[in-house]
Chains A and B, each alone.
Chain A
Amino acid sequence: MLGEWILALSEWLLTLTQGQEPWDAYARYLPRLMDGVWVTLQLVILSGIAGFLLAIPLALMRIARSPGLWMLAYAYIFFFRGTPLLVQIFLVYYGLSQFESLRNLGWLWTDVLSQPYWCAIIAFTLNTSAYIAELFRGAIQAVPVGELEAAQALGMSRRQQYQSVVLPRAFGIILPAYGNEVILMLKGSALASTITLMDLMGATRGAIARTYLSLEFFLLAGLLYLLMTALLIGAFRLLERVYNAHQHATHLSVKKLDAQLRDEHLEQQVK
């Protein structure tokens, strides 16, 4: 076992010391990997937004009193959270194409369902919306009762209450968890390479197929995924600061506040 490790390591060292070849390969394939990064970002951002929009009606259905509505949403969420993403991608891409009638749908087939790009976005959207809907359901139920009572006291209709109080509050509550879900989706998006899409993973596998530098290119791909994750974390931090400003207000200088409003306990924390 130890011998095998030493052998593998020394073989790898040997390839690094032999001539310029790996560096040529990096130079040739790095632009393709960067194209892949761009495709990956598109997949994650588009499905992240579409999944979010789809999650709102799903969450509202999920907490509806009518059994027809909540059971439907429950079944949807149960299916998409309970099956592997890879299965869902294959169902959308290879599964749908088995139906003759779908192939006669004109542009819907030629421009959307026959394209691996849109099939990946559809599968990712359906998958992530199930998770986000569950986040939303929890958040809606976590909106403080007092705020709802205040809204009622102002004479808001049920629709107004949801539009101006419940949903915006719920959005603030799910924001950190939503960022988490988008990062999970970023990593899940590597599965798009299985349906011929040249995302970062697809481009990496393509480079390895030509150069056999698997360790090097997988490490490079890992690094690029890390960078994208860092970017997403930063973006969500920013969003949280703006949207949940009340939770981040402690950076304001407490001393400038009216003496009546000063809270010694809070000041202790800030120091």
Chain B
Amino acid sequence: MRGSKKFLSAALILASASLLAPNAMADKIRIATEGAYAPFNFIDSSGQPGGFDVDIALALCEKMQAECEIVTQDWDGIIPALRARRYDAIIASMSITEERERVVAFTDPYYSNVLALVAAQGSDLTLDPEALKGKNLGAQRATIAGQYLEDQFGKIANIRLYDTQDNAYLDLAAGRLDGLLSDKLPAYDWMQTEAGANFAFKGEDIDIDDKVAIAVRQQDQALKERFNAAIQAIREDGTYAEINAKYFPFDIY
């Protein structure tokens, strides 16, 4: 029974793949980013998406000699919309996780990330469960930081999950949050701004071997391989280092 269902689905996929073939020949790759995750992706003053992710995306497209279109999409719908074929790839600082790998395919990583706890400079908050008891902790919804908070401290602390990282910063600055668990690099960038100047990293970084990569649909293996080759190419010819230096004074690969 299960075998025949699988066969049916496979036949349907084959049939639709052949219908799609002419579409795939037109070499235009639609790439999604979030646009609310400075300095990796944001909307600049002229309304265009910019940032590390976008620069990397454009560099990769140039290497692949492909025509690319960058679109923006809210974070918690970014994977569903990829699967619904609104675009072909996600270059939006997405970490490789087991849960995501079940539904999308990831390329080789293009940078590495650690998590860090951010709190007011005078705060004595640490990642010790005792210190976090009853505290208001925030993170962005559908991120590894959010999952880490829910899994580790969901029972002892009050967890708030935000639509965007920017909204989480707003509430941290307003004093609604005692601490924010975030990817370290964007938080570092926020602390350089006026709003984030009074905040600091607390405790040790959380290194969960977090690699950030490009997500494509699982059946698009050819596209994945093209991205992999292009990532290697920009690493080797110095384009990557150039882009890296624009945003961070240290290597983030």
Contacts and interface: CB of A to CB of B under 8 A. Distances in A.
Interface of A: 2-4, 6-11, 13-14, 17, 94, 97-98, 103, 114, 116, 194, 196, 202, 205-206, 208-212, 214
Given A17-B5, A209-B142, A209-B146, A214 B15 contact: no
Contacts of B76: 205, 208-209
Contacts of B161: 196, 202, 206, 209
Given A3-B20, A7-B16, A209-B141, A114 B176 contact: yes
A210 B16 contact: no
Contacts of A11: 9, 13, 83
B108 interface: no
Given A6-B15, A209-B141, A210-B147, A14 B80 contact: no
B9 A10 contact: yes
B246 interface: no
B162 A196 contact: yes
A269 B170 CA distance: 63
Contacts of A97: 170-171, 174-176
A13 B5 CA distance: 9
Contacts of B13: 7, 10-11, 14
Contact of B175 (A10, A103, A210, A212): A103
B80 A208 contact: yes
A8 to B, nearest CB: 6
Given A17-B5, A97-B176, A103-B175, A212 B99 contact: yes
Contacts of B77: 214
Contacts of A3: 16-20, 23
Top 8 closest pairs, chain A to chain B, by CB: A3-B19, A209-B142, A97-B174, A10-B12, A7-B16, A196-B160, A6-B16, A214-B80
Nearest to B1: A17
A210 to B, nearest CB: 6
A206 B15 contact: no
A208 B77 CA distance: 9
Contacts of A6: 12, 15-16, 19
Nearest to A109: B175
A219 to B, nearest CB: 13
Chain B interface mostly helix, strand, loop or mixed? Answer: helix
B79 A212 contact: yes
27 contacts: A2-B19, A3-B16, A3-B20, A4-B20, A6-B15, A6-B19, A7-B13, A7-B17, A7-B20, A8-B84, A10-B9, A10-B13, A13-B12, A17-B6, A94-B171, A94-B174, A97-B174, A97-B175, A97-B176, A103-B174, A196-B171, A205-B76, A205-B141, A205-B142, A209-B142, A210-B147, A214-B77
Contacts of B174: 94, 97-98, 103, 114
Given A4-B20, A209-B146, 14 more contacts: A3-B18, A6-B16, A7-B20, A8-B85, A11-B83, A13-B5, A14-B6, A94-B174, A97-B171, A205-B141, A208-B142, A209-B161, A212-B80, A212-B100
Nearest to A103: B175
A92 to B, nearest CB: 13
Contacts of A94: 167, 170-171, 174
A194 B163 contact: yes
Contacts of B84: 8
Contacts of A103: 174-175
B131 interface: no
B154 to A, nearest CB: 11
B113 to A, nearest CB: 18
Interface in B1-45: 2, 5-6, 8-9, 12-13, 15-20, 23
Contacts of A114: 174-176
Contact of B99 (A4, A194, A210): A210
Contacts of A209: 76, 141-142, 146, 161
A151 B17 CA distance: 78
Nearest to B217: A11
Contact of B2 (A2, A10, A17, A194): A17
A212 B16 contact: no
Contacts of A194: 163
B170 to A, nearest CB: 5
Contacts of A208: 76, 80, 142
Contacts of B102: 212
Tell which of A7, A97, A194 has the most Cβ of chain B within 10 Å: A7
Contacts of B23: 3
A116 B80 CA distance: 27
B120 to A, nearest CB: 13
